[in-house]
């Protein structure tokens, strides 16, 4: 993926995977998502982070939440880290 080609929209990343937790406690989730080619984003505050993933067609409405964060600290598309992206 070329830098800046991906446009991030928080309304598409509405499935919370973790709450704000120390990064070392969720590192295994990040590694698994990368291996499985999942599209997700990470918001970091100090030493803590929260993971949200892209909504999929098969997701139940019960797990979809409002994402009130702004620009994520890290973005992965199909398991690949996107270094530069725009925010819608």
pLDDT digits (tens, 9 = 90+) for 17-68: 999 999 999 999 999 999 999 999 999 999 999 999 999 999 999 999 998 8
88 within domain boundaries? no
**Overall number of domains in the chain:** 1
Using CA atoms, how far apart are residues 26 and 87, in angstroms rounded to an integer? 25
In a domain, residue 9? The reply is yes
pTM: 0.90
Long-range contacts of 28-35 (CB under 8 A, 24+ apart): 33/76, 33/79, 34/76, 34/79, 34/80, 35/79
The domain of 28 spans 1-61
Q: Is residue 50 in a domain? A: yes
Any domain includes 51 = yes
């Amino acid at each position: 993926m070329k830098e800046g080609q991906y446009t991030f929209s928080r309304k598409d990343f509405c499935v919370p995977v973790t709450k704000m937790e120390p990064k070392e406690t969720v590192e295994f989730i990040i590694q698994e998502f990368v291996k499985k080619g999942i599209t997700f984003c990470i918001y970091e505050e100090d030493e803590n982070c929260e993971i949200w993933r892209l909504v999929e067609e098969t997701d139940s409405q019960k797990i979809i939440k409002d994402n009130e964060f702004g620009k994520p600290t890290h973005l992965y598309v199909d398991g690949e880290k996107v270094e530069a992206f725009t925010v819608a």
